[in-house]
Homo-oligomer: A and B are copies of this chain.
Amino acid sequence: MPRWKPGAVDRLQTAALELFDEQGFERTTVAEIVQRAGLTQRTFFNHFADKREVLFGLSSELQREIIGEIAAADAALPPLEVVMRALGAVADKLLEHRRAVVAHRYAVIAANPELMERELGKNAALTDAIAAALRERGGDADAAYLAASVAMLAEQVAFRAWTRPDETRALRDLLQDALHAVRTTVDAADRPLPA
């Protein structure tokens, strides 16, 4: 028989999500999580850098896919369009078919400021990674960062809509709408500031 039950990471993630759901993030201790998962505290911190990280297993996979899409993109497209296509493709591939579980986890994150800070940090890291991938294709560094930032803004707006219970459209379509809404907003206000 195996020395340990397999799937330690999964068990920790599941136990943590359950407990955060039941009693909130702050009122849940790592001791409780590892007890439910049948492991020790030291093992928890071997797998996750800190208590928050247990909720963010998906982000590295997402980032890898997005960067891959950008690297494979048509060299002639403008940077923002490259990123929008990449986000759309990854939405279809990794997010769309598990809306319920993704939305559930996001609800837990949004309910706690510490977790929200981590979420924002992940988004910022992804923005930087996208900008770096755009620079790989050649092009101005500032333009790359700007395209990455605008795309991530659209992604965020779309994601917030997508996780609302009454929303039925696909994330890809919401993404398109969000970018268009950004354009409308900006076009109406880009004129010189008064002195």
A-side residues, CB < 8 A to B, are 78-81, 84-85, 88, 113, 116-118, 120-121, 124, 142-143, 145-147, 149-150, 153, 156-157, 172, 175-176, 179-183, 185-194
Contact = CB atoms under 8 A, between A and B. Distances in A.
A153 to B, nearest CB: 6
Contact of A80 (B88, B121, B124, B188): B188
A85 B187 CA distance: 16
Nearest to A176: B193
B189 A186 contact: no
B186 A179 contact: yes
A78 B189 contact: yes
Best-buried of A88, A121, A191, A193 by chain B (most CB within 10 Å)? A193
6 contacts: A79-B185, A117-B118, A117-B120, A146-B157, A150-B186, A172-B193
B143 A185 contact: yes
Given A117-B121, A120-B117, A150-B153, A179 B172 contact: no
